[in-house]
Homo-oligomer: A and B are copies of this chain.
Amino acid sequence: MISATVTGHVWSTRRIDGLPAGALLEVEVDGTSGSRLIAFDVLGSGLGERVLIAQGSVAANWFVGTPPPVDALIIGSIDPDVSG
């Protein structure tokens, strides 16, 4: 998994079928020179929050029913005071 910081919200009104309801958050990956990706969020993560992200088909397979076309999922919020 990777740790990252939430940097914004992405809105995509025109989208394909099969994307579940939920937030699309832009995150900056920790330990990189600003590398960003967009992760699906079901936890209500906030701006500036440090989060844990799983990538690949494991992200899609977390959803119940037909796996959606999602390849990055926020799986947890990182507790601020004890990491690393």
Q: Which residues of A come within 8 Å of B, CB atoms? A: 1-3, 7-16, 18-19, 24, 26, 30-31, 34-40, 42-43, 52, 54-62, 67-79, 82-84
Contacts and interface: CB of A to CB of B under 8 A. Distances in A.
Contact of A18 (B2, B62, B82): B62
Nearest to A33: B31
A73 B15 CA distance: 11
B1 A37 contact: yes
A57 to B, nearest CB: 5
Contact of A76 (B16, B54, B62): B16
A16 to B, nearest CB: 5
A70 to B, nearest CB: 6
